[in-house]
Structure 1
Amino acid sequence: MVATDLDKTVIYTRSSFGHPEPETVCVEHHEGQPLSYMTVTAAKRFTALASAVALVPATTRTIEQFHRVRLPGGPWPYAVTSNGGTILRNGLPDRRWRSALEAQVRAECATLVEVRAELRARVDESWVLRLREADDLFVYLVVDPAKVPDGFLADWEAWCRPRGWSVSQQGRKIYTMPVPVCKSRAVQEVRRRMLEAGELHPDARLLAAGDGALDAELLRVADAAIRPRHGELEERNWTHPGVSVTAASGIHAADEILDYFLGVRA
């Protein structure tokens, strides 16, 4: 079973192409404009991987944002969106998973309303472009990274942690997330269900990939994992036993990641 993050792991915007530009295929349009791409090589390997293993996209994107992406090799019996807040089964949200998660968040975390109000009081338009709420689960800022005030992330994290929330910056986005909402828990639930249904061999290993701090727990719980040589985990010089790192950064890292998955399963 392979669980992989999408943005800046296997799909990329043009800013990650480098020079010379690789041959690519567009896998996402937004408001009629091309947005996200894979190299032709990565698209072929993704298709091959999807035909060989149980492949589960695992993304922080909302349901709507995930459905914009046309990954080669689909459709997907299972996908994880909203950073683990939603399990999609044949494209539809699993209500049982969401209800149990919401109950845990209510029991352990400050409310979304409280967190959003506190966050709004701490930011202003000089550096924040947008404040968004995602699937009634978490909030994120779209910011100008060069203008984020010194100490903002540390101060905001210090407020959030005792209230059961975490903070993570990935490029232009700063996520504020309830701690129980994590990809690893949702992926492990998908694995449990597939094993119970006989859709996975009992000895099947879990492989994973991701680039951000929100992926770290998923990489830790996997039997083997890989991260690209860029992103939040690279900036933190994050390592863990059993987690490999690509030689390439940018869009070409996806080629290596998919090669890794195909090689490990072989």
Structure 2
Amino acid sequence: MSTHAGTGPVMVASDLDRTLIYSANSMALGGADHLAPRMVVAEVYDAAPLSFMTRAAEELLEGIVERSVFVPVTTRTQAQFARVRLPGFGRGYAVTTNGAVLLQDGEPDADWSRHIQRSLGTECAPLSDVLDHLTGSAAVPAILRVRTAEDFFVYSIVDRQAMPDAYLEELAAWCQARGWTTSLQGRKLYCVPAPITKEAAVDEVRRRSGTGLLVAAGDSRLDAGILELADIAIRPAHGELDSDAFTGPNLTVTSAAGILAGEEILRFVDDVLAQASGAAPFAGAPAVQRGLRPASPAVL
């Protein structure tokens, strides 16, 4: 958890997929069809709608963007992120490619790019070594496809049922010895250079923008770092972190899962901003959790 919440504006750093926006397969809608919330399209791909959020969530996000330093934080590449249309798109900061790319008003920040390249050059084995390990003589049939993200990291589509018992531990040890990390999320296996993290990029945005309180949201293991960095954090009641029972003194868990969790996250953030802008000292995050406590009170 951050220890330097100050008097600057509130910063809101949020993951996108399965945190704020949802595919049709990840909505987890229950009940009768006529009770489903009204939705808006958040992403179009190949001329077809791909990702959605509730209409109420979009309206909440419009207000959040105007009252905070809102930073989308995603493992998506720049091209994949460019398909997403959210309030405030193209303004301010955004983090893509799991932290390898820092966008400012839609353009990659040259200073951050140089910092990442220096770190990769001195701390990590080259990406080609990892690709060779995943696809060469050490490859296993459970790895179905291997892709790279802007030549920064590698992700694979895997058959988890066919994965040898010891493979993930062996791969993690092999990568760690070369300055890389691994993360298995659903059917995707990520191999990422250790200097490339969402939390490092978020911390850089915080330093540059002079923000005070940091509020963060995310659902996956690659989001754990920004949740730990934040003064107040929230995650949905689904995803890898929910499976891990991930918790912390600053963390709240939504009561809803699926697309309604995205709306709940934004209501939570809206409440935090309302408290932070009030005349009284900030009294802590609103409680919408399943037995978990929000962050300790922070004074702005």
TM-score, length-scaled by structure 2: 0.82
Q: Which runs of 4+ in 1 moved over 6 A?
A: none
Query: What residue number does 1:159 align with?
Result: 174
RMSD: 1.6
Query: What residue number does 1:138 align with?
Result: 153
Higher-Rg member (1/2): 2
Moved more, 59-68 or 140-149: 140-149
1:141-197, Cα deviation, whole Å (9 max, x unpaired): 1234444443332221121112111111222321110111001111111111112xx
In the alignment, the residues of structure 2 paired with residue 71 and residue 174 of structure 1 have an alpha-carbon distance, to the nearest angstrom, of: 28
- Retained in 1: the 8 A contact 2:133–2:139? no
Q: Name the % identity.
A: 45
1:35 alignment partner, SS class: strand
Q: Which runs of 5+ in 1 are unaligned?
A: none
Matches within 5 A, 1:249-260: 249-260=257-268
Query: What residue number does 2:213 align with?
Result: 205
1:42 paired to 2:57: yes
What is the number of residues matched between the two proteins?
Answer: 258
Query: What residue number does 2:285 align with?
Result: none
Query: What residue number does 2:248 align with?
Result: 240
Q: 1:11 aligns with which of 10, 21, 43?
A: 21
In the alignment, the residues of structure 1 paired with residue 260 and residue 139 of structure 2 have an alpha-carbon distance, to the nearest angstrom, of: 36
Query: What residue number does 2:99 align with?
Result: 84
Moved more, 181-190 or 137-146: 137-146
- Retained in 1: the 8 A contact 2:23–2:52? yes
Q: Structure 1 residues 51, 227: closer, same or farther in 2, change over 3 A?
A: same
1:184 paired to 2:199: yes
1:113: how far off? Answer: 0.7
Moved more, 136-145 or 45-54: 136-145
1:3-42, Cα deviation, whole Å (9 max, x unpaired): 0000111011111222344321111111222111111121
- Retained in 2: the 8 A contact 1:207–1:223? yes
Q: Which runs of 5+ in 2 are unaligned?
A: 1-10, 275-300
1:117: how far off? Answer: 0.8
TM-score, length-scaled by structure 1: 0.92
1:181 alignment partner, SS class: coil
In the alignment, the residues of structure 1 paired with residue 85 and residue 139 of structure 2 have an alpha-carbon distance, to the nearest angstrom, of: 35
1:94-131, Cα deviation, whole Å (9 max, x unpaired): 1111111111122111111101110113445x544431
1:163 alignment partner, SS class: coil
Query: What residue number does 1:61 align with?
Result: 76
1:38-91, Cα deviation, whole Å (9 max, x unpaired): 111211111111111110001010111100101134333110001110100110
Which is richer in helix?
Answer: 1
